[in-house]
Amino acid sequence: MIQVTRPLHVAVLVSNLAQAETFYGSLLGLTKAERSLNFAGTWYQIGALQLHLIESDSPPTPLVHTQKWGRKPHLALAIADLGAAQSALSAAGLPYQLSASGRAALFVCDPDGNIIELSQS
């Protein structure tokens, strides 16, 4: 059996790194991490986990289900205040879906359609 000891990173492909940095860095407020690779990308540190944004000419097309985004592949992030997140997303003109389960969570898409869950904890 392989023993997993901790998360390291999640890699997300993006078509426009500047737009993705605005979403993840400015809107979500993630902190950039050190990076020394020679291809287009940005790393963000989220607790023990890193989020790697990798620029790609052909990122995969997300399979967005228009009624329940939470049932598609997504990255889940804990947030402090769901109401504040809703206000920020609305102010940015970004559509989102509240969790169908009734928990304090919502789903939003980044500029490439990657689904992000923001869950109040």
Residue 61: inside a domain, yes or no?
Answer: no
Verify that 25 and 48 share a domain, yes or no. Answer: yes
Query: Which pLDDT does position 65 carry in this prediction?
Result: 62
Q: Which residues form the domain of 80? A: 69-120
Query: Which pLDDT does position 68 carry in this prediction?
Result: 84
Q: What is the pLDDT of residues 45-78, one digit of tens each?
A: 999 999 999 999 887 776 656 778 888 888 999 9
Q: What is the pLDDT of residues 20-39, one digit of tens each?
A: 999 999 999 999 999 999 99
Could you give the count of Cα atoms lying within 13 Å of 111 in the half-sphere of its Cβ? 18
Residue 4: inside a domain, yes or no?
Answer: no
Tell the burial category of 25 from Cβ atoms under 10 Å away from its Cβ (0-12, 13-18, 19+).
middle
Contact in structure between 59 and 18 (CB atoms under 8 Å): no
How many residues are listed for the chain in this entry? 121
How many domains is the chain built from?
2
Average model confidence (pLDDT) across the chain: 91
Residues 27 and 75: their CA atoms lie apart, in Å, by 16
Residue 1: inside a domain, yes or no?
Answer: no
Give the mean pLDDT of 89-108: 94
Residue 45: inside a domain, yes or no?
Answer: yes
